[in-house]
Chains A and B, each alone.
Chain A
Amino acid sequence: MTSIDTVLASGRERLDEEMDALEGSVGYEETAYALPVTYAVTGMAVHDAASAREAYAASGSSVLVAGECLAAAGYAAEGGEGEPYTGFVPDTVLRRLGYSLVDGSIAGIGLVAGSPDDADAAAAICREMQEKYLLTFLAGGVIKTLTEAGVKVGLEYRLVPLGSTGMAAIHFADIIARVAMMFGGVQPGDTDRLLNYAAERAKAFVIAFPGLEDEEVAVIDGFRVLSIPILTPEGYEGGEWIRVPYLEAVREGMERRGIRVNVVAIPIPMACSPAFEGKSIRKEEMYVEFGGAKAAAFELLRVRPADEVEDGRVEVIGPEVGDLEEGSAVPLAILVDVAGASMKKDYEPVLERRIHTFLNYGEGSWHVAQRDLVWVRLTKDVVRRGVAIADLGRLLASKFRVEFPDLLDAVQVTLVTDRERVEAMLEEARAIYDERDERIAGMKDEDVGTYYSCTLCQTFAPNHVCIITPERPALCGAITWLDAKIAYEIAPAGANQPVEKGELIDPVLGQFEGVNRFVKKASHSAVDRVSLYGMMEEPMTCCGCFECIATILPEVNGIMIVNRDYLGDTPLGMTFSTLAGTIGGGAQTPGFVGISKGYILSDRFLQAENGIERVVWMPSLLRNELKGRLEEKLERMGIPELFDKIADETVAVSVEDLAEFLARVDHPALAMRPLI
Chain B
Amino acid sequence: MAMKALDIYKLLPKTNCKKCGFPTCLAFAMKLASGKVDVDLCPDLDEQTRELLGGATRPPIRLVAIGAGERSFTVGEEFVLYRHERTFYHQPGLMMQVADTWPEERIEGVVARVRDETFHRVGEDLSVDGIAFRWESGDADRFGGVVGTVEACASVPEVIIADDPEAQAAALAHCGNFQPLIHAACADTAEAMCDLARKYGCALAVRAGDLEELKRLVGLCRDRGVENLMLDPAPATLRDFLARSVEIRRRAVERTDPDLGYPVVFDTVPLGLPDAATALGILKYAGVIIIDELGPASTMAALTLRQNIYTDPQKPIQVTPGLYPVNAPTGSAPVLMTVNFSLTYFTLLGYLEAAGIPCYLFIVDTEGMSVLTAVAGGKLTETLVADAIKTTELENRVDHRVLIIPGYAAPLSGKIEEETGWEVRVGPGDAAEIGEYLETGWEA
Contacts and interface: CB of A to CB of B under 8 A. Distances in A.
| A–B touching in complex (CB under 8 Å) | yes
B207 to A, nearest CB: 35
A279 B425 CA distance: 9
A79 interface: no
Contacts of A589: 4-6, 33
B376 A572 contact: no
Nearest to B87: A585
A488 interface: no
Interface string B332-362: 0000000000000000000000000000000
B69 interface: no
B5 A676 contact: no
Contact of A572 (B6, B14, B27, B411): B27
A651 B5 CA distance: 27
B414 interface: yes
A592 interface: yes
Contact of B27 (A274, A275, A573, A590): A573
Given A278-B414, A278-B415, A582-B34, A655 B16 contact: yes
A551 B23 CA distance: 15
Contacts of A584: 314
A573 B410 contact: no
Interface residues of A, number: 37
A655 B18 CA distance: 12
B9 A554 contact: yes
B86 A275 contact: no
B283 interface: no
Given A276-B410, A279-B414, A545-B377, A582 B314 contact: no
Interface in B1-18: 4-7, 9-10, 14, 16
Contacts of A591: 4-6, 9, 26
A140 interface: no
Interface string A632-676: 000000000000000000000011100000000000000000001
Secondary structure at chain B's binding surface: helix, strand, loop or mixed? helix
Nearest to A361: B410
A75 to B, nearest CB: 53
Contacts of B398: none
Nearest to A577: B367
A528 to B, nearest CB: 14
A544 B429 CA distance: 25
A437 to B, nearest CB: 25
A655 B426 contact: no
A72 to B, nearest CB: 53
Nearest to B36: A582
Given A555-B16, A676-B10, A276 B426 contact: yes
Contact of A590 (B4, B85, B413): B4
Contacts of A676: 6, 9-10
A432 B196 CA distance: 86
B411 A462 contact: no
Contacts of B23: 572-573, 654-655
Contact of B85 (A276, A462, A551, A582): A462
Interface string A560-599: 0000000000011110000100111100011110000000
A278 B407 contact: no
A102 interface: no
B86 A585 contact: yes
A461 interface: yes
A615 B384 CA distance: 34
B24 A555 contact: yes
B314 A274 contact: no
B6 A462 contact: no
Contacts of A462: 84-85
B138 interface: no
Contacts of A461: 314
Nearest to A460: B314
Given A572-B24, A590-B4, A591-B6, A274 B410 contact: yes
A280 interface: yes
A276 B415 CA distance: 12
Nearest to A357: B411
B413 A279 contact: yes
B26 A585 contact: no
Contacts of A552: 6, 26
A274 B407 contact: yes
B310 interface: no
Interface string A537-558: 0000000110000011111000
Contacts of B409: 278
A656 B316 CA distance: 37
A585 B410 contact: no
B264 to A, nearest CB: 25
A311 interface: no
Contacts of B34: 582
A277 interface: yes
Contact of B413 (A278, A554, A579): A278
A591 B26 CA distance: 10
Contact of B407 (A275, A280, A478, A544): A275
Interface in B425-444: 426, 429
Contacts of B22: 573
B418 A275 contact: no
Nearest to B85: A462
Interface string B181-209: 00000000000000000000000000000
B313 interface: yes
Contacts of A544: 314
A280 B410 contact: no
Given A478-B376, A573-B23, A280 B314 contact: no
B30 interface: yes
A573 B31 CA distance: 12
A655 B376 CA distance: 35
A280 B418 contact: yes
Contacts of B14: 554-555
A495 to B, nearest CB: 14
Interface string B158-202: 000000000000000000000000000000000000000000000
A574 B27 CA distance: 7
A268 B5 CA distance: 60
B150 interface: no
A277 B426 CA distance: 10
B396 to A, nearest CB: 27
A590 B5 CA distance: 8
B318 to A, nearest CB: 14
Contacts of B4: 589-591
B386 interface: no
B410 A277 contact: yes
Nearest to B82: A462
Interface string B300-324: 0000000000000110100000000
A676 B85 CA distance: 29
B341 to A, nearest CB: 12
A12 B400 CA distance: 84
Interface string B17-45: 00000111011001101100000000000
A569 to B, nearest CB: 8
B275 interface: no
Contacts of A360: 411
A548 to B, nearest CB: 14
B110 interface: no
B24 A573 contact: yes
Interface of B: 4-7, 9-10, 14, 16, 22-24, 26-27, 30-31, 33-34, 84-86, 313-314, 316, 376-377, 407, 409-418, 426, 429
For the complex of A and B, list the 3 residue pairs with the smallest distance between their C-beta atoms, beginning with the closest. Answer: A573-B23, A280-B414, A278-B413
13 contacts: A278-B412, A278-B414, A280-B417, A460-B313, A461-B314, A478-B376, A554-B26, A555-B24, A573-B23, A574-B30, A582-B31, A590-B7, A591-B9
Given A573-B27, A591-B4, A676-B9, 19 more contacts: A276-B426, A278-B409, A278-B411, A279-B413, A280-B414, A280-B418, A461-B314, A536-B6, A552-B6, A555-B16, A555-B24, A573-B23, A582-B33, A582-B34, A583-B30, A584-B314, A590-B7, A591-B6, A591-B26
